[in-house]
A = this chain, B = another copy of it.
Amino acid sequence: MSSDLNSHVIRDLVIANRILAREGVIDDFGHVSVRNPANPNRYFIARSRSPEIVSADDIVEFTLEGEPVQAENRRLYIERALHGAIYMARPDVNSVVHHHARSILPFTITELPLKPVFHMAAVIGAEVPKWDSQDEFGDTNMLIDDLPKGHSVARALGDGSTVVLRGHGAVCVAPGLAAACFLSVYMMENARVLLETLPHGNPVYLTSGEVEQTAKLLLSDVPMNRAWDYYKARAGFPGI
């Protein structure tokens, strides 16, 4: 892998970190990773650091088992098993976001279904599956801090693009960083709209045909570029 490709990927990962902070998806905790395009058995993610202040120097390369490729003595994210386990299970996935966006939390601690009610959210899939650490692991520190928990979440994710974790947050996966940010933002927005709608009656959800057609269109070139340019400008990278 050339260092040019490396620096390009790392730059985009830094931008994605800043975007997820700027758009209110991630605050002090949560993270985003990208698979190494030159070696599918490696991925990049920041050392333990809030996305809003991540720089290129903070990016570390890991094996899918969660070991740093080069010796590293800085603090590392405790939950990186989540990323590795998903990259193992899903060759089509090249970026993983883990966040605690507040609007999705009510759906993780009630029976409320999390389904798209407006077109931009079609990308989250017809219905978001739910994962509860109690089911397999009982009382824990709530973190996905080892591979068995990572594999368990990956199974709940299945072949979809999103999964929520009880009393914790969400995971969004996509073929690339731009789509992963897009998914994360609109998952959060859709949840917010649902919370504001439900007190007033049952909403009309998108039909499965609408979800499929709209998601396909939104993840295509024109919309994805528009969103990425917008996110980058707002996150402080207008000319890149």
Q: Is A75 an interface residue when CB atoms closer than 8 A count as contact?
A: yes
Instruction: Assess the A29–B207 pair: CB atoms within 8 A.
Output: no
The interface size bin for chain A is: 35 or more
Given contacts A28-B230, A200-B112, A230-B50, contact A216 B78 (CB under 8 A): no
Given contacts A29-B120, A53-B230, A109-B197, contact A75 B141 (CB under 8 A): no
Contact of A234 among B29, B52, B209, B234 (CB under 8 A): B52
Contact of A28 among B48, B201, B227 (CB under 8 A): B227
Most buried by B among A106, A108, A192: A106
Closest chain B residue, CB of each to CB of A225:
B75
Instruction: Assess the B201–A112 pair: CB atoms within 8 A.
Output: yes
- Oligomer: number of copies: 4
- Cα(A207)–Cα(B49), bound, Å: 28
Instruction: Assess the A110–B204 pair: CB atoms within 8 A.
Output: yes
Cβ of A13 to closest chain B Cβ, rounded Å: 18
Q: Is A117 an interface residue when CB atoms closer than 8 A count as contact?
A: yes
30 A-B residue pairings within 8 Å (CB atoms):
A29-B120, A29-B223, A50-B229, A75-B222, A78-B222, A105-B117, A106-B193, A108-B118, A109-B197, A109-B203, A110-B201, A111-B201, A117-B167, A119-B141, A119-B142, A134-B207, A138-B209, A139-B210, A139-B213, A140-B213, A141-B217, A142-B206, A142-B210, A142-B214, A143-B214, A166-B204, A195-B200, A198-B200, A199-B199, A199-B200
